[in-house]
Structure 1
Amino acid sequence: MALQGLDDKSQVLTASVFWYFTWKDEIFRWDHNIDYKNISRLTVKVSDVWVPEVYIVNDVRDMPITGVNREYVIVRSNGKMTWFPAKELQTSCAVDVSKYPLDTQECIIKMEAWYHDNTSFVLNTIGSGIDMSEVHFIQNGEWDILNLSANSFQYQDYADNSFAYSCIHYTLILKRRSSYHLITTTFPFVILMAINLLVVVIPTECGEKLGFCMSQFLTMTVFLTLIGQNMPSSSLTISYLTFLISLQILVSGITILIVAKSIYLQTRSIEDKPSCIVRIIFSPMIYFQQNYLKKSFTPAQDSRPEGLITWLDIDRKLNCGLNILLLLNVIATVSVFVFVIY
């Protein structure tokens, strides 16, 4: 009748449903044309007749379906019994949020007969077994129902395999309506990632560059906290969006480290020579550095000995590495988005 929602945090599916049970009861048979003044139909309380004793075994609140104080059974003279129990279900559902907010979930409502084996009690589905009420159904704003199916089968007794019990599993395939989440989550994330690229164009001499990087780092951290509040606390499945935000935090942290080091190197004079360890680390860049100097500067502009690495050279190489890191970050993020969509 209605799908209230699927709580990602508690992993609980809430839905208003009713069942259509029908069976034959030989005790309730009479000739309505002769003895009972043409009365062919009665409505009696559930407490006055036998009704199937079934349970929703993954209901987190109340497993039995029967509610003797609020329900009735329609009895016909040919012994046909009809029961329409209605209930608001809260069933457990394992949520896979790896592709949030473009995810599709599969939830199962498990109905079982616990106390009657298949020699005296069998559950069968009518038609497809499950459908949406054309009169009562109310759309959910967050989830769209893609498919409904029912599967009746029998399972063995846990203690004695010689007995089998009847069971029906109702499967709901739900797809998240992603428009709201794309606007409130994905769109701000893309904007923050794009803003993070502005660190390339801000001069190191500008004192606001480090402050800008710190602001981006704190913003991504807060954004990850907000996303985590809506996600289930599980390590089985983690959203790719969470990984991407964590990646942005890592990139922002590396950016802060490089920018802070670059600001420090800007204060070193050209006469200061890097230590032996630094020269060894950056020695593979000597050849490229020499070619760069030959093309960009004249001998009058740069009188340094050929092959000498200065702190300013290291600063340029660090900033070049930062640019490459930001480019790889964008490529990795776009690749993950394409994977999630397709």
Structure 2
Amino acid sequence: MNFYILLTSLLLFFMSFPMMTYCQSGTDVSALLTHLFTTEGYNKKVRPLKDQTTAIEIRVDYFLNSVIDFSEQEENLKISGFLSCTWVDEYLKWDNASFSNIHELFIPQDDIWKPDISLRNTFKSFTGLGASYLNVFVTSNGVVEWNPYQVLESTCSVDITFFPFDTQICELKFTAWSYTQSHVDLDVGSKGVQLEEYVENSEWELVQTSARETNTDEAAVFFTLKLKRRPNFYVLNIIVPVIFLSLLDIFVFILPVSSGERASYAITVFLSMAVFLTIIAAALPQNSVTTSLLSVYLMLMISLSTFIVILSIAELRLATRDVNIQPIGKGFMFFIKCSNVITCKVCRKSVAPTRQLSSKVKKRNLPDGSVTWPDIVEAIDIVFFWITMIYTLLTTLIIGVVAVNGGDT
């Protein structure tokens, strides 16, 4: 019972003291703004330092929202996000107790001093950050936070050597255009590039970010994005069909000369190669600084296809010769010897990738007068089938390994 009496007495005792309450109204905020901008005579044209001989320090972070587009042809990176800038404005400080305990204000960005930060390596027009309808956040101790959200388009040098397994490094350079470092000191904040709200791009994977400050007298900060291409689309729609076409080109030597389809088959494969080269050329930037390994591979395959077309036409001519009118020289007999060596090794391993020479040719000791021109053509087919097969496989393997491994660096 005594406990309840004591508790009631204490409550009445504390309630007897006048309680100070703060009710922040629009009038209070208006009075504070009048005090700062009229009474104190705030001038946004003056750097917010009482000692104008020193530099104002501005902490800068970049919050990346998404990679909208990366155009290799135009070497243009388009991203969305906002720059977070924080500094102390010594002319925007006030006493909380004198203004109903107001601790913070939202002020239109064009009403106060702010650094004229802009993207220096912009792709299109050179404009400042933010807009007139955006506000800055100001606290009673003069701390100003400015977060201008904007879609940025910057230039970015493209290295297409390892396309489509390439990795591109793009740098965003923000500068306070009118000031030097002795007036405005832009420093990278503790966060650098923030990815809290980042949305993945379907074509490019963001593998690394970094931020740094300039070591010169220029007031600037750099934010670097390392982007790796997702190659699945190009592998399925370009690389795999090109490899299949390269293999089809080899099988020209399987068709008999008597079929009459060899030249047309070889030319069709050649034209298909040329079409894919045109598609790849349209997807790459038009410069001569770097060359795509995929383009090199296509050129090598087109060169091989050109050689096969020429050889096929020449073989048609050889097959119509008469051995009594045009005797077979020792150079052509070399193909007979090579084909016999190749077919014997292949036969022992029970592999038959090409047409074997006729039994009549295999039984001969191959004197010059016992071989016909169709036999020579058949021997040439066997020799060049294996030469082009080895050439295609080695070229595909070497360029493929270099492109995949080089793109990861």
TM-score between both structures, scaled by the size of structure 1: 0.86
Q: 1:12 — aligned with what?
A: 76
SS at match of 1:125: strand
TM-superposed deviation, 1:45 = 1.1
Report the equivalent of 1:315: 377
Pairing of 1:139-288 with structure 2 (within 5 A): 139-155=200-216, 164-273=217-326, 279=329, 282=331, 285=334, 288=337
Count of residue correspondences: 323
Aligned mates of 1:37, 1:29 — CA distance in 2: 15
Q: Aligned AA for 2:70?
A: L
Letter in 1 for 2:309: I
Distance apart, 1:289 and its partner CA: 7.5
Residue 172 (structure 2) pairs with residue 109 (structure 1): yes
Over 3 Å counting, the alpha-carbon distance change for 1:103 and 1:42 in structure 2 is same
Larger Rg: 2
Give the whole-Å Cα distance in 1 for the aligned partners of 2:115 and 2:89: 11
Q: Which moved more, 1:22-31 or 1:95-104?
A: 95-104
Greater CA drift, 41-50 or 57-66: 57-66
The one of 48, 72, 96 aligned to 2:135:
72
Q: Is the Cα contact below 8 Å between 2:67 and 2:80 reproduced in 1?
A: yes
Question: In structure 2, what is the Cα distance between the partners aligned to 1:114 and 1:334?
Answer: 51
Is residue 2:160 matched to residue 1:122? no
- Write the distance in 1 (CA, Å) between the matches of 2:152 and 2:264: 51
Deviations 1:93-121 (A, max 9, x none): 11111111111111111112232112121
Tell me: CA distance 1:129–1:44, structure 2 relative to 1, closer, same or farther (3 Å). same
The unaligned stretches of length 5 or more in structure 1 are: 156-163
2:55 — aligned with what? none
- Cα distance in 1, alignment partners of residues 166 and 81 from structure 2: 24
Which structure: greater helix fraction?
2
In structure 1, the residue matched to 2:95 is 31
Q: 1:2 aligns with which of 61, 66, 73?
A: 66
Asked if the contact 1:258/1:319 (under 8 Å) is kept, the reply is no
1:146-166 Cα distance to aligned partner (Å, 9 max, x none): 0111001232xxxxxxxx112
> Cα deviations across residues 185-212 of structure 1 (Å, max 9, x unaligned)?
1111122122222212211211111111
Identity across matched positions, percent = 27
Q: Secondary structure at the match of 1:73?
A: strand
Letter in 2 for 1:297: K
3-state SS, counterpart of residue 233 of structure 2: helix
Structure 1 residues 84-103: aligned runs within 5 Å: 84-103=147-166
Rounded to whole Å, the distance in 2 between the matches of 1:80 and 1:286 is 86
Secondary structure class of the residue paired with 2:220: strand
Tell me how large the CA RMSD over aligned residues is: 2.6
The yes-or-no answer on 1:337 pairing with 2:386 is no
C-alpha distance in structure 2 between counterparts of 1:102 and 1:172, whole Å: 17
Distance 1:289 1:331, change over 3 A: closer
Alpha-carbon distance between aligned partners in 2 of 1:119 and 1:75, rounded to the nearest angstrom: 24
Bigger Cα displacement from structure 2, 69-78 vs 12-21: 69-78
Shift of 1:335: 1.3
Deviation at 1:128, TM superposition (A): 3.5
CA 1:61–1:290 in 2, change beyond 3 Å: closer, same or farther? closer
Which moved further from structure 2: 290-299 or 19-28? 290-299
Distance 2:140 2:335 in 1: 100
SS of the equivalent of 1:217 reads: helix
In structure 2, give the amino acid aligned to 1:5: D
Residues 216, 290 of structure 1: CA spacing in aligned structure 2 closer, same or farther, 3 A cutoff? Answer: closer
Unpaired stretches in structure 2, ≥5 consecutive residues: 1-64, 342-356
